[in-house]
Amino acid sequence: MEKHLIALDLDGTLLTDDKKISERNKQAIQKARQEGHIVAIATGRPHRASIDYYNEMDLDTPMVNFNGALIHHPNNSMWDSIHSPMSIRTARKIVHTCKELGVKNVLAEVRDDVFLDRYDEELLEIFHTSGTPITIGDIQHHLNEDPTSILIHPHPEQVPDLRKHLDDQHAELIDHRKWGAPWHVIEVVRTGLNKAVGLHKIAHYYHIPQERIIAFGDEDNDLEMLKYAGVGVAMDNAISELKDVSDYTTESNEGDGIAVFLENYLKLSSKAI
């Protein structure tokens, strides 16, 4: 079979609900790689919160982080990385709005440096900040360079109004996506960035045509990626909007959905391992 590029979202897709890679998924990915296919991670997470999974699968490919705001190769500093932060001016306006609305917290990231508006142990655990340079305190005071992304942690009932405000006031400058439950986090990046942008760059690097890209996802930050891929696969636990644009629906993240699809679609040999 001709070589495919397999793009994997992490949360709600590759990872189980307890944030593990199942043994069946791991074996299917290993089989696919042994048969010549390329596997890459495409996630809204920062590098620091995805590199352990990258290493667990023993990958040696570029990775898409921050929903396309950072496209880089963890093992090759000479690879043509792209870092596309939003302007500090826009970031400060968004943070100001968040403070006026009284959201729970705001976190800004510059690559892997973290700026947190108010100390919150739960939030620090969610965003995998152990061992990460972190500045806690008024973001408007401490953030002095263009951030890769802003993560807003609102009260659940604030999400619709906050997203409407971002559309009304900043649509030309930023894009925003909502993380799935239980976090209800809104991630903001510079406009025009999404996972499909990163996928296009990686596919071009490996000379893989669009029709041989397989992409898996479950949330609204996967919409562009699944539309772009020649083979867009929504998890059974995916939002309905994603299933509507996908070519296939597979089992859930708890049901080894990635392995189920790859074993059938790529006709993976049981002798590969």
DSSP 117: S
Residue-wise DSSP of 172-200: TTEEEEEPPTTT--EEEEETT--HHHHHH
Buried b (16+ CB within 10 A) or exposed e, 127-141: bbbeeeebeeeebee
Nearest to 40 by CA among 8, 18, 88, 4: 8
Tokens of 222: 């996967």
Q: In the chain, where does DSSP find H-type helix?
A: 23-34, 51-56, 88-101, 121-126, 139-142, 159-170, 195-205, 223-228, 240-245, 257-265
Exposed/middle/buried for residue 146 (C-beta within 10 Å: 0-12, 13-18, 19+): middle
Q: Are 16 and 237 in contact (CB under 8 A)?
A: no
- Residues labelled catalytic: 9
Contacts of 52 (CB under 8 A, 6+ apart): none
For 22, phi and psi rounded to 5 degrees?
-65, 155
For 242, phi and psi rounded to 5 degrees?
-75, -40
